[in-house]
Amino acid sequence: MPTVRYIQFDGAERTVDAAAGTSVMQAAITNGVPGILAECGGAASCATCHVYVDDAWVDRCGPPGDDESEMLDCAASERRPNSRLSCQIELSDELDGLVVRTPETQS
């Protein structure tokens, strides 16, 4: 089962186990990891699950899709080259150990 490490803006950390096929957003939400709102429940419709993917994992997570990229431009916190919407990153064994950082604010 892949694990994901979430590092909040203030440095606090949480690591959760999640089934492969779950999104990075869903794993955070169901386990109550702070820093991710996900108001639309994972439809890439709200840009409130914005994360910065750790540099070591950027390639394995891949680039954002077109719609996702447009949404990221309008996210509440600054967009960076490693920005993704966590609802669009699907966990797999390949992403076991993934590290993401949550931004200062989501809304």
Partner 1 sequence: MGEGTVVVGAGQAGVQVALSLRELGYTKPITVLNDEPHPPYQRPPLSKAYMMGKLSPEGMHLRTSDYFERQGISILSERVEVVDRSERKVVCSSGSRFRYEALVLATGGRNRTLSLPGAELQGVLSLRSLDDASDLKERLTSARNVVVIGGGFIGLEFAAVASKSGAHVHVVEAASRAMARAVSPEISSYFTRRHMERGATFSFGDAALRINGQDGRVTSVETTKERMLPADLVLIGVGIMPNIELAQAAGLTTDGGVVVDEHLLTSDPSISAIGDCAVFPNAFSKTRLRLESVQNAVDQGRAVAARLVGKPSPYCAVPWFWSDQGEDKLQIAGISLMSDTRLAKGDQATGRFSVFVFRGDELVCVESVNRPADHMAARNLLKTGRLGGITPEVVRNDAFELKTYAARAVADA
Answer for which of 7, 29, 36, 53 binds partner 1 (CB under 8 A) is 29
Query: Among 1-9, 38-46, 49-57, 92-100, which window interacts with partner 1 (CB under 8 A)?
Result: 38-46
Is the CB of 75 or the CB of 89 nearer to partner 1?
75
Is the CB of 55 or the CB of 67 nearer to partner 1?
67
Nearest-angstrom CA–CA distance, 72 and 52: 11
Query: Is residue 32 within the footprint of partner 1 (CB under 8 A)?
Result: yes
Nearest-angstrom CA–CA distance, 31 and 17: 9
Residue 4 burial (10 A CB sphere; 0-12, 13-18, 19+)? buried
Nearest-angstrom CA–CA distance, 3 and 19: 9
Interacting residues with partner 1 (CB under 8 A): 19, 21-22, 26, 29-32, 39-47, 67, 70-71, 73-75
